Amino acid sequence: MAKRRDSVMKSLYIPVDLMNELRKIAKEEETSVNSLIVRAVEEYVKRRGGDRDG
């Protein structure tokens, strides 16, 4: 899963203003921007009805 996630993250376009906000949040939470994005996607998938990997 990690390898697939990494390839998706490299191709993900994020507008500059959103990226700047993510950087601020990541700094406040002492985490990485990638971790914030992964967490948001995981929460979205859960709301949509579960894990789509299997």
- The per-residue pLDDT for 2 is 57
Q: Is residue 3 part of a domain?
A: no
Tally of structural domains, the chain: 1
| Domain encompassing residue 38 | 8-48
pLDDT digits (tens, 9 = 90+) for 1-52: 455 555 555 677 889 999 999 999 999 999 999 999 999 989 999 999 876 5
Cα maximum dimension of the chain: 34
Contact indicator for 33, 26 with CB cutoff of 8 Å: yes
Residue 24 lies in a domain: yes
Residue 53 lies in a domain: no
Specify the pLDDT at position 5: 58
Q: Is residue 12 part of a domain?
A: yes
pLDDT confidence of residue 43: 93
Task: Flag whether 32 is in a domain.
Answer: yes
Determine, yes or no, domain membership for 2: no
Give the per-residue pLDDT at 4: 58
| Domain annotation covers residue 54 | no
Q: Assess if residue 26 is contained within a domain.
A: yes
